[in-house]
Chain A
């Protein structure tokens, strides 16, 4: 067993995947807590589809996928935030429309230009082999920036997540921090798309947060637990995909679901106990 793990870690691409994947999983879980609590989960999902379309576009024009997708997705993130908050139109439906619209556009661009290449399939379902050395460096740098910004603005992010109106009265620039959250989410989604795949990346944002909220009731505990669940799920899922030759994204999501169900079960048992005592 130990030998097999040593063998797995002797492949440089596996080591790279573990490092980048864990970092991105960490970013996603932290941001995910705010997204879930602010009812922005749809935005995360929409962004993954937008990221996919941007990527298809970049591939068709033979441009660098990550370096094109990130700025486009960040811009759309700001737009989605605007739409989601405007009371005039139904925000969530509009986000859903942009989301399916970009998925359709992405698929169309692909079929017209190159056909369904493995490269595109990789982006839809994720692969650990897709990353070049320079992608790895960029991904690590960007996720570290995301983490640092999150850490610095932790207290402000807490307050705008809990109560935007009160946050405004204390002089916080709420719109700026909402944009920051959306922008960081967009970066994280694009980075994560390579390994988890565009279709499954939004689970990376939502599931660890939901899992942590099953058992933990303070913001800090939820954040820490979501981070741990997310990283452990990623490592478990990626190992599974290596040993059982399963797709990486689906394996990671399965591991996350396993944690979610386990935590839900523990919560059920805990809730049942005091009732029995009475």
Chain B
């Protein structure tokens, strides 16, 4: 590890992974495929993985580099449609199409990141809305992107790896988990290395960063490109492994806000927080749905139930922001510190 790596808490094993990370990885790669029901995989884990990855991409940009974006769903859409078209038109292996899709999303992210060289905060956020509307418009307007499909909804290709068709829920889950794990490790390496210093320096004090020679403009553009590339891959996972269709409608402003909430609820500039935030955003509405079905079934109509759910969800987010602005990650830190203290006391 480089000298820049942030101080490490907890034991590190010979592999360089901390114990909790190893536990989570072995649960994810071994226990879950053996035990999880198709429902859990399809309704919870697949969207969770795709949204976690999107959150990770946005956190790199917003949490680490301090650039607010409301265009995340646009870059998901770019990734999904680019992967679809590379697959359709080149016949390259799927992983190659995904890499090309990530590059496409990165380039488009770079272009929409250019205003960040001039704009800040609220104004930048508004300018990233341009990406959101432009991409959705282009994808609906030009049917070439959806291969001329009249509805604009197209079936995603089945993922094939070395002749192996990954169309079962477990297969898609493992594919998604592998990609998310690899990118998470990459992001960890980036943010704990010298580039992480640049990102946080730009976020914390742009003037000071500039005066000491941190390449501010380059750092912002790198953040936009990396972030959009990662979010692009998240879009591929969303379309190819979760929905199994590719369509512009799911990549709307609501989705962009959802990803922003994941980052805020989880905690800015924390990797594990992003996963916690995504977990909450995916699971909470399901729980709420169950609960309200149990409480109100037959009493009031389904539309009203949906509305109540949204209000409760919104209220929870607001409460959360007031009670713990540093997010779930901070809560976890406190809990584990308390736990460690208990263990020590015996």
**A and B together in one complex:** no
Residues of A within 8 A of B (CB): none
